[in-house]
Amino acid sequence: MLRPELITQFRRQLHGSVIQPQHAGYTEARKVYNAMIDRKPRWIVQCANMANIAASIEFVRDHGMGAPIRGGGHNAGGLGICDEGLVIDLGRLNSIHVDAAAKTVRVGGGAKWGNVDNATNEFGLAVPSGIISTTGVGGLMLGGLGLSYTSVRPHDR
């Protein structure tokens, strides 16, 4: 069990939110696309930037924990959520930048295909991937595992 002061120190490093079971919004924050998945993490870090991701990974490494990284939360098996652990949630990192001249699109780790379709459509472009608008880009691009199921362990250093 982690000492409360370690969690307090960790929270101070973040610009995003750290949601725990006693917080308002916890039930909503832990939901994934597959409503049959009912896992209850101890912490959900809603990352606001890359530094939050790095701090979260460092935290779980330092304390010997695994941590699923949730991109879109669409994986049917619920691989982006866990019981009793820390979830690194990229949902707020959903930026989409279309470079119409280069015909490319750059997306954040929490972007979903419906948002990508809307952004590229404005420029007469399309990305031929994904058929469900609520699917996360990262998970689908990495074969359905990637960001939806990246576990960080101490030996990964």
Please write the tens of the pLDDT for every residue from 92-125: 999 999 999 999 999 999 999 999 999 999 999 9
Which two tokens mark 157? 């250093």
Kindly tell me if the per-residue pLDDT of 135 is higher than 90.
no
Kindly tell me if the per-residue pLDDT of 148 is higher than 60.
no
49 CB-near residues (< 8 Å, 6+ apart): 15, 16, 93
97 CB-near residues (< 8 Å, 6+ apart): 105, 106, 107
Domains defined for the chain, CATH in brackets: 4-92+138-156 (3.30.43.10)
31 CB-near residues (< 8 Å, 6+ apart): 73
Question: How many CB atoms are located within 10 Å of the residue 147 CB?
Answer: 24
| pTM confidence score | 0.85
pLDDT at 120: 95
- Residue range 46-96, pLDDT digits in tens: 999 999 999 999 999 898 888 898 988 888 888 889 998 999 999 999 999
Phi-psi region of 72 (alpha: psi -120 to 50; beta: other; left: phi over 0): alpha
